[in-house]
Amino acid sequence: MPIFCRRRQNHIRFFDLRSGSGYSANTQLESGRWEQIRMGTGQSIRLGMVGGGPGSGIGPAHRYGASMDGAFKLVAGAFSRDPDKNAQMGESLGLDPERVYADFETMAVAERKLTDGIRAVSIVTPNDSHVPACLAFIKQGIHIICDKPLATSFKDAVTAYRAARSGKSRHCSVNVRWSG
């Protein structure tokens, strides 16, 4: 299943990280047809998460959404600035302790070096840290799924946009789940 879609009326454009390509679908298709238009290799996309630690409201929602159809497998994270909470979250999610990082900068660099490193990261931190986290992963060529808003200022949004356009990441999406 793709990780990013753009919806316009009854038409959706999907972008698939596994193949790096996209396709379109009419949302009025019967449910059985959806299975025929899905793309992919059958392998889950290795996902990391920044934020979403204990007490987070949005972290569990993103983890649930990512796990719904097996398209993603959470394999790494930097869930909290508090080392104990961070370790506790990684353990509760069944992650390898070596893949639970103290901060997103360390995570981005370390995951890029791994042969089985993450292909995408879900950023669900407080709003003021979305852009720094995005920039760290864009620099490493890791695809971004960022909770809204992308930035807290126009200047920061432009910085993130320019980095994504010139970076190694092919996909940078902002979750706009409540925008209708």
Task: Give tens-digit pLDDT for 65-108.
Answer: 888 777 789 999 999 999 999 999 999 999 999 999 999 999 99
pLDDT score at 45: 85
pLDDT score at 145: 86
Residue 3 pLDDT > 60: no
DSSP three-state, residue 86? helix
| Mean local confidence (pLDDT), 109-136 | 93
Closest CA to 168 of 144, 145, 138, 135: 138
Residue 56 pLDDT > 60: yes
Closest CA to 120 of 83, 175, 57, 80: 175
| Mean local confidence (pLDDT), 9-36 | 42
Q: CATH for 44-175, among 1.10.240.10, 3.90.440.10, 3.40.50.720, 2.60.120.10?
A: 3.40.50.720
| Mean local confidence (pLDDT), 60-67 | 84
pTM for the model stands at 0.74
Q: Whole-angstrom Cα distance, residue 120 to residue 137?
A: 9
Tell me, what DSSP letter sits at residue 100?
Answer: B
pLDDT score at 13: 43
Closest CA to 160 of 128, 140, 130, 124: 130
Of 44-48, 75-79, 159-163, which range is least confident? 159-163
pLDDT score at 170: 54
* CATH 3.40.50.720 placement within the chain: 44-175
Share the mean pLDDT of the chain: 76
